[in-house]
A and B are shown apart, each in its own frame.
Chain A
């Protein structure tokens, strides 16, 4: 079975541009979360979606938005890119939401560089 897949793997953008990152969860998983990992730091929570509804949002500006599609795949959009948005963006999937023993399965990430 395929794990969590993310595309693209690498991306270079310039300041002010817009970017869309894509994620396909493990088959059967209905929840997708997005994390930002800046070099030298731990991942920081951006969004969580379950059954196409937003279930959590981290402390990120409105330039960040996300969506979950009927097939449970997800997109993360970032507008008006800043140099500080350069990071590894990780997508994680899980079976559901709110289960006590739930664990997250992470993709390999999209490395975004903003010049």
Chain B
């Protein structure tokens, strides 16, 4: 079965500093990986996805993610954090032929001024 793990419940970053939110995966076959962000009392917003191709994936709002097959990781990154980036971030892997996503438990990102 496919799974993802987010080892950090919370990440604290100062505004302007780079941020990393970690995700590791366990899949059979080729991984289809996603990052979503959730703001308070809102649904999930798509940030980026890795299907095949370049290991560095660029997404919305200046975020990018690096796919590392040897380390089975798909960490989310941003060069310079904004206070408005504070939210709950979810890594997910697609399972099966359809759109079913398996989500990690989430990482709360807090960016302080």
Contacts and interface: CB of A to CB of B under 8 A. Distances in A.
A18 interface: no
Interface residues of B, number: 24
Interface string A29-61: 001010100001111110010100001101000
A43 B90 contact: yes
Contacts, number: 66
B51 A101 contact: yes
A48 B94 CA distance: 13
B99 A90 contact: no
A68 B105 CA distance: 28
B97 A103 contact: no
Contact of A103 (B34, B42, B90): B34
A90 B100 CA distance: 13
| Contact count band on A | 20 to 34
Nearest to B6: A42
Interface string B34-59: 10100001111110010100000000
Interface of A: 4, 31, 33, 35, 40-45, 48, 50, 55-56, 58, 90, 92, 94, 97-98, 100-109
Interface of B: 32, 34, 36, 41-46, 49, 51, 90, 92, 96-106
